[in-house]
Chains A and B, each alone.
Chain A
Amino acid sequence: MAEERMLMPGESRLSIGRILVYGALALVCLYYLMPLYVMITTSLKSLDEIRAGNLLALPQAVTFEPWAKAWQSACTGVQCGGMKGFFWNSVSFVVPAVLISTTIGAFNGYVLTMWRFRGSDTLFLLLMLGCFIPFQVVLLPMARTLGLLGLASSTAGLVLVHVVYGLCFTTLFFRNYYVSIPEELAKAARIDGAGFVRIFLRIILPLSGPIIVVSIIWQFTQIWNDFLFGVVFSAGEKQPITVALNNLVNTSTGVKEYNVNMAAAIIAALPTLFVYVVAGKYFVRGLTAGSVKG
């Protein structure tokens, strides 16, 4: 998309201005990459080396011990089972929550564009405003509700919470995407006798690929990275990895093992980084789509 842009006609290939622009861009790249570099190198150093060397020094003797410890035996509070269990906790509620909220969002978007009824615009407005509320305002009642339902500190409880508060965004995504589908398509199908489900499955769904990917990526990063719901609605062994990481880093007892902390932080970041690297284009699209109104 960028190639056609004609911003500066008559510009020479290598002017001082060009060099300055590239220099500034490169410098900023270093700034953005620095924390990642520091995290990786620190996680490969021994504690002695960390104390002796400095932040930007490359590890002299690469060790994977901090990684092993972070994964298997680092202590978060009273437990010493590493990040392993918490990592799989996160997987266990993120996957269903993402799939459910995306599925419901797709149907909602379909109804709100192709099958509008009296009040559907109001409903959409209500949902949209839901994207804006600070979650602090629902925490106390939700904690109470989960307790009454017997879902406190359970995986199912976290799935419920993430689905409910993710619906606003997924509905918004699908609705805004489906609005651009020409109505003739659905109308023609309707005349041919296709019903609600068939129009969705045969016409709408096959066109939905890009927005499904966007919704899944958005929801995945949101829910995987969530901390507030995790820290309030889970406890002990059931906690998500973000909460465990925070506990690990802020454990006040014993020697601070910066290398283990950094390894654990990278482990917690890997799934979303992976998604970003593999599906970066869609990640950006999700971000910008989510930004339209929320």
Chain B
Amino acid sequence: MAGTIQLNETPGGLRPPVAKGGTGRLYDLMEAWLPKIVIAPTFVACVVFIYGYILWTAVLSLTPSRLLPLYEFVGIEQYQALFGNDRWWLALKNLLVFGILFVVVCLIVGLLLAVLLDQRIRAEGFIRSIYLYPMALSFIVTGTAWKWILNPGLGLEKLVHDLGWQSFSFDWLVNPERSIYTVVIAGVWQSSGFVMALFLAGLRGIDDSIIKAARVDGASLPRIYWRIILPSLRPVFFSCFMILAHIAIKSFDLVIALTGGGPGFSSDVPATFMYTYAFTRNQIGLGAASAMMMLMIVVAVVVPMVWSETRRTSRG
């Protein structure tokens, strides 16, 4: 926090000249309070709409609420119901499959593209723009587009048939065993360019002199990347991982637009599960319990990451 200014807590020298007459004190008082008054609405909103609501949802998850909130304590019944629900387990499994594939593939693709783009490429800005534009689109648009491309009757499958490979079959979108993988395809398409941008920024931040020294020592380019450049990208890896994991855990729109959680509920994830139970099946208590579990997952993934990063950087 070095470099920040604490104006109002330095009495004496930095006080504003007092205006003449009786308004001086009032003016001083107002000046002292103004910063707090300005930030107060945000403080209240934050406490109420974030932390208060989390508490409220936690309370709801301990009640038998169905269509309407019912404030009657039933202990962890809803959580027991949740973990006795096959659909929830499938949603968790899908999240695991989707989350791991999405994060890993995005990291690999993003890093590879960044390394390729870092080779003094002509028209680099133009190419970068192409890789990045999917990020400007909403997941609903992305889902709609990929749903059309992956359409077994008319999309990619037909294209390959027309090219002469008649026995080609690509029905992942409607195959309960495969549907979650189509979400990975569309998700990677949308988010990998962004990871590329972060890695590229990281690569550009590396001190050239180390690399030059390594070259003088006769190290090969792949070796330089592997031994020097990649290790120094560690903080970027962390940021990317955190953002991607976060996107994965929250991912709702993409699944809704692409598969609608289907076929059946084969591509359900916790976010769609929560929406379905809380808002279309009128199981408020169960929905609240699943939302609390989502929060726990985020906490379990993000907090250790932030913790280790801040400890590392504060020591460094």
Contact = CB atoms under 8 A, between A and B. Distances in A.
A288 B170 CA distance: 36
Interface stretch (A72-80, A121-129, A207-215): A121-129
B131 interface: yes
A112 B39 contact: yes
Nearest to B36: A117
Interface in B98-152: 113, 116-121, 124, 127, 129-142, 144-149, 151
A62 B221 CA distance: 50
Q: Considering residues A123, A167, A250, A265, which has the most beta carbons from chain B within 10 angstroms of its beta carbon?
A: A265
B279 interface: yes
Interface string A1-31: 1100111110000000010011011001101
B66 interface: no
Contact of B130 (A33, A42, A287): A33
Contacts of B53: 137-138, 141-142
Contact of A35 (B145, B158, B198, B292): B145
Contacts of B113: 25, 28
B88 interface: no
Given A196-B34, A284-B197, A227 B140 contact: yes
B54 interface: yes
B133 A232 contact: no
Contacts of B246: 132, 294
B138 A268 contact: yes
Nearest to A120: B39
Nearest to B109: A28
Nearest to A243: B140
B29 interface: no
A142 B127 CA distance: 42
B274 interface: yes
11 contacts: A2-B124, A35-B145, A36-B145, A51-B154, A104-B42, A123-B43, A134-B250, A225-B137, A228-B275, A242-B253, A265-B144
A104 B46 CA distance: 13
B183 interface: no
Which 7 A-B residue pairs are closest in the complex by CB-CB distance? A225-B138, A115-B35, A276-B136, A183-B5, A227-B253, A141-B56, A138-B53
B3 A179 contact: yes
Interface in B13-54: 13-14, 16-17, 27, 31, 34-36, 38-39, 41-43, 45-47, 49-54
A29 B4 contact: no
Given A225-B138, A228-B253, A284 B132 contact: yes
A29 to B, nearest CB: 5
B278 interface: yes
B291 A139 contact: yes
A137 B295 contact: yes
Interface string B179-194: 0000000000100011
Interface string B270-284: 110011001100001
Contact of B4 (A51, A113, A225, A226): A113
**Which of A7, A22, A121 has the most CB atoms of chain B within a 10 A radius of its CB?**
A7
B175 interface: no
B16 A193 contact: yes
A35 B149 contact: yes
Interface of A: 1-2, 5-9, 18, 21-22, 24-25, 28-29, 31-36, 38-39, 42, 50-51, 54-56, 104, 107-108, 111-117, 120-121, 123, 126-127, 129-130, 132-142, 144, 164-165, 167-168, 171, 179-180, 182-183, 186-187, 190-191, 193-197, 221, 224-228, 231-232, 242, 245-246, 249-250, 258, 261-262, 265-266, 268-269, 272-273, 275-276, 280, 283-284, 287-288, 291-292, 294
B230 interface: no
Contacts of B9: 116-117
Contact of B278 (A33, A133, A140, A187): A140
B8 interface: yes
B16 A195 contact: yes
Contacts of A221: 136
A133 B298 contact: yes
Given A5-B208, A180-B3, A117 B8 contact: yes
B252 A228 contact: yes
B67 interface: no
Given A111-B36, A120-B39, A139-B291, 18 more contacts: A28-B113, A34-B149, A35-B146, A35-B149, A36-B145, A55-B155, A115-B35, A121-B1, A123-B39, A123-B43, A134-B250, A136-B252, A144-B69, A180-B3, A196-B31, A227-B257, A272-B137, A273-B137
A162 B120 CA distance: 41
A57 to B, nearest CB: 9
